[in-house]
């Protein structure tokens, strides 16, 4: 996937580090802004998976590190919920100035609470999604409960969260006490999607119920059943991204991207260290990948799977067209395919003695009121589908750089 590293200034003149995940389609359906969880960063695997999934579905997403976290400047101990909110607003303003104002805010855990508050200050935000977010802001204090007395008495304390030390000031707790999230949410007139796992042992599912109760319609809830709080399993974070993208279609109008893949042109983009490739046909978007055992992420079919899919789908369509033209009772067509390498048969011309050729094996399962004569004819027609013919032709493949004339 293609990510762009950017830096922007917040209102305190600190550099905040961000990634922008660009979809293959340009321009994107819309822009989204992601706020990560408490003491996390934009590099959290779940954040990357959600942003990647959204970009694959045509949404450009910016995720950034809050002040004092990740690659951003500043000291974490000098931050609080209010500074997180202002960082989100500053990030949205940066997007508006340099790219396009975000239409969707996404917040994970504590970042979800900050996103709810930030949404009110951003009129361009048309919808909001929270993931595993608390309904009670003081709930976050359970992470450093044994240090609360020290923080109150001395004004600050060093606490260990997730194996890392952070400074927590008393002003952080005061800021939480002064903010009533439920009351604020009940006045927020923006569509909201609340995602939460029943198995979340950091922020209980009851928080989602309270958020949903306080939120004003339109509001939606989706259970991330089986997921942990950090969405550690890739399948859970990818699912969350898919749900958010689909849900947002209801509330954020998508512009039709210009079609720069004319005719039968196909565009493929691979960015990053893996093999996951985005495939853009004139009107559709899909992924190709390699299995995990060869270093891929298994997020899509392999190139040979796609080639067999082309042959199989063309076969089925050709048979359907023929049967409809003949007015035959053809109810269902199933095509099974396999690919391997075999030696040429004796007597066939070949350049090398031990040369092998590709063999595609195709099995047809056809349902309908068809006699043996009609079935035999369909078998003959299958061998005449356009992709079949193309694969048997002499093929010329020319490769040039894009800036060279074709």
Residue range 89-111, pLDDT digits in tens: 999 999 999 999 999 999 998 88
Say how far apart CA 278 and CA 75 lie, in whole Å.
38
The verdict on 143 and 231 lying in the same domain is yes
Predicted model pTM: 0.70
Q: Is residue 237 part of a domain?
A: yes
The verdict on 160 and 93 lying in the same domain is yes
Which domain-ending residue is among 202, 231, 248?
A: 248
Say how far apart CA 381 and CA 368 lie, in whole Å.
17
The verdict on 156 and 220 lying in the same domain is yes
Mean pLDDT by 10 residues, the chain (406 residues): 87 94 81 90 90 90 92 83 90 94 93 90 93 80 64 64 61 66 84 95 91 92 95 93 94 67 69 79 79 85 90 92 92 90 64 74 91 92 92 87 66
Q: Is residue 254 part of a domain?
A: no
| Residue 353 CB partners (closer than 8 Å, separation 6+) | none
The verdict on 131 and 229 lying in the same domain is yes
Contact 57, 285 (CB under 8 A): yes
The verdict on 118 and 233 lying in the same domain is yes
The verdict on 127 and 194 lying in the same domain is yes
At 311, which CATH number? 3.30.300.20
Q: Is residue 296 part of a domain?
A: no
Q: Is residue 283 part of a domain?
A: no
Q: Is residue 262 part of a domain?
A: no
Contact 10, 232 (CB under 8 A): no
Instruction: Give the residue numbers spanning the domain of 61.
Output: 3-248
Which domain-ending residue is among 224, 248, 272?
A: 248
How many structural domains is the chain composed of?
A: 2
- Which tokens sit at 101? 């104002």
Q: Is residue 267 part of a domain?
A: no
Rg (the chain; Cα; Å): 27
């Amino acid at each position: 996937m293609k990510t762009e590293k950017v830096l922007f200034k917040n209102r305190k003149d600190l550099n905040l580090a961000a990634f922008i995940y660009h979809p293959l389609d340009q321009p994107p359906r819309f822009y989204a802004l992601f706020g990560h969880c408490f003491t996390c960063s934009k590099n959290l695997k779940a954040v990357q998976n959600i942003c990647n999934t959204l970009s694959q579905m045509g949404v450009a997403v910016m995720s950034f590190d809050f002040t004092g976290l990740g690659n951003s400047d500043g000291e974490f101990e000098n931050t609080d919920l209010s500074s997180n909110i202002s960082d989100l607003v500053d990030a949205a303003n940066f997007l508006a100035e340099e790219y396009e104002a975000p239409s969707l805010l996404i917040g994970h855990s504590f970042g979800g609470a900050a996103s709810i508050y930030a949404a009110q200050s951003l009129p361009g935000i048309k919808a909001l999604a929270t993931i595993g977010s608390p309904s009670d802001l003081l709930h976050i204090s359970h992470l450093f409960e044994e240090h609360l007395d020290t923080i109150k008495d001395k004004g600050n304390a060093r606490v260990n969260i997730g194996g890392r030390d952070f400074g927590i000031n008393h002003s952080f707790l005061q800021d939480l006490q002064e903010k009533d999230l439920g009351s604020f949410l009940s006045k927020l007139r923006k569509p909201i999607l609340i995602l939460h796992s029943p198995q979340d042992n950091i922020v209980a599912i009851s928080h989602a119920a309270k958020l949903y109760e306080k939120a004003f319609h339109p509001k939606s809830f989706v259970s991330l059943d089986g997921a942990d709080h950090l969405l550690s399993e890739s399948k859970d974070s990818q699912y969350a991204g898919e749900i958010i993208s689909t849900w947002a279609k209801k509330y954020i109008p998508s512009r039709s991207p210009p079609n720069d893949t004319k005719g039968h042109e196909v565009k493929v983009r691979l960015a990053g260290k893996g093999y996951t490739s985005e495939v853009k046909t004139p009107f559709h978007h899909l992924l190709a990948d390699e299995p995990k055992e060869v270093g891929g992420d298994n997020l899509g079919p392999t190139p040979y799977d796609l080639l067999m899919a082309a042959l199989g789908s063309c076969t089925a369509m050709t048979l359907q067209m023929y049967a409809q033209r003949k007015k035959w009772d053809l109810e269902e067509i199933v095509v099974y395919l396999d690919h391997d390498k075999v030696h040429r048969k004796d007597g066939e011309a070949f350049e090398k003695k031990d040369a092998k050729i590709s063999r595609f094996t195709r099995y047809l399962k056809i349902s309908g009121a068809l006699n043996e004569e009609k079935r035999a004819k369909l078998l003959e027609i299958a061998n005449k589908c356009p992709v079949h013919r193309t694969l048997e032709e002499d093929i010329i493949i020319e490769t040039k750089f894009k800036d060279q004339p074709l």
